[in-house]
Structure 1
Amino acid sequence: MATATMLDMLGDTLKSMTFDFPPYHLTDFEDSLGGAWFVSPTQHALELLLLVPLFTGLTLFFGNRAFGKHTEAYRLMNSKHALPEASMLERILVVLMIGSFGITCAHKTVTQTLLFLMQPCHASALLLIIVMLWPSKQHHPLIPRLLLNTYYYTLWGAILALIFPDLRDHDMLGEVFNFFLEHSLILIVPMYLISNPRYVTIPPSLDMALFSFFLYAFYHSPVLHLFSLWSGYNLNYSLVPPALGFLIETGPAYRYIMYTAALLNMFWTRYLLMDNWHKLARWTRQQRKLKAC
């Protein structure tokens, strides 16, 4: 009884500090922007108390194992060597990325939903722009190389967005087109970069996969989770599941399924898709060199 009372107090405290949502479970699945108490305030509070320290600690733990100063990955990400000039294709891709991201910013400004720029796919677009425009690949190279090599594990998000596009509330001129352009770019660009000798690729590893997952999970909770509770926006489905029947039917447990799917996706994305693509690109370059000799 005392435990139940404490849990109720915890939920009530969180509810008093957050957005004034509609009544419990009153969810409009025609709307992709707004949230609701699909998950109870008590469960939200417990997840923040339990998951945030877990995600924080494991991100730091696996980060140290993956690319701490004692690792070969750290040496590779800090290595300095002569780099070829950016190709015309790379410059075109940069322009397309900036243009698409700029259109996204314009749409979000007009609809007063700029907070949705925090969505993982928009954040990924900005990440890739930063990597490609880094002032000098020889100046603090660890930063862009770590960002890019972490992203190689997480680009499954772009694939799922293209397979299950959530186009609710995409009503503005060019918004649907830009949705597919942006998500295609954040899939195509890293596949180009991993085959480009200008960019250092760290071999896939279990530690790096787990670091990428727990960093991704940390970005979801607490970052997006807290911003969602504060603003009332359903950022990355922190409050309400996407309009997919099998996830809705799982009820408040839907996020645990999404976390599990994210963890599994980290492995096939990096080990199967990106690693095989990288090997194919290296083999193709070698064949071209042999023919040129």
Structure 2
Amino acid sequence: ISKLFGMAQSIMSVVNDTKFSSAVFLLTGIPGKEDVHLWISIPFSLMYVISIVGNSVILFIIKTDSSLHEPMYIFLSMLAITDLGLSISTIPTILGIYLFNSREISLNACFAQLFFIHFLAKIESSVLLLMAFDRFVAICNPLRYASILTLPRIAKMVLVFVLRGVAVALPFPFLLKRFQYCRANVLSHSYCLHQDVMKMACSDIKVNTIYGMFTTLFTLGLDSLLIFLSYVMILKTVLSIASHTECLRALNTCVSHLCAVLLFYIPDIGLAVIHRFGNSSSHLLRILLGYVYLLVPPLINPIVYSVKSKHLRARIIRAFVK
């Protein structure tokens, strides 16, 4: 009898493992708007096209124009690459819901998607920090700008931040893969996020919660603090400039970067707060913030930088006029 009981347990274990490996999550569109999903897909499709084309044009212009091979434009090209990655990682599942009502996503595909989303989000935060450092050096120590921001030094900083992004985001799929998911498995967003998926587990998620909070503080929290301190120093330097015209000219070089920082950090902070402390009444707000967080920066960043950067704008116009 004990042998038969052991065999039964083994069979049940295999069945459970099979069930676990073939389980799926259900992605969510906008609840209650299923009858207009096709219409909702139109703005998302436009955002996707504009994001891909806009960031690709910036990359092409910077790559082909040797006069733009400066630290500021190198960082801008990195921002464009990151925004392209975020668009490619998220928009397909979003359009799948609104165009084809394709809500199912396998566990492995979900874990892969959330890794790339979190990894690219950390990279975007790092790039915004590097751009703040670039503005800080250009305004506060312009005579040493070329000697401080050399290409080898930029490459080393980029490598450090890429390694940090991989090291921070890589544990997420493995921490989630050890769970079994016995709930409804209906996610809050049209894509997978660690803080959303871990709530579907029927196990203790304390380790995931602590690690998620640590990674947020270590990356986004630290980067935003350093960006803030950079702008405090920039403002202090600018206010010491006697000429009002020079003061405005110096601040004008920071406008596009400040827009990118606000577009990225405000929705991200709001989304993190709602996921941890929000209630059921904030579900729609969570969905909308999730779209703003990952879709608006790739859409707006190339537009803002093209408008505010005189050299980049002139080069883009010249390329299309030809």
> Could you tell me the TM-score, scaled by structure 1's length?
0.32
Higher RCO, 1 vs 2 (CA within 8 Å, ≥6 residues apart): 1
Structure showing greater radius of gyration is 2
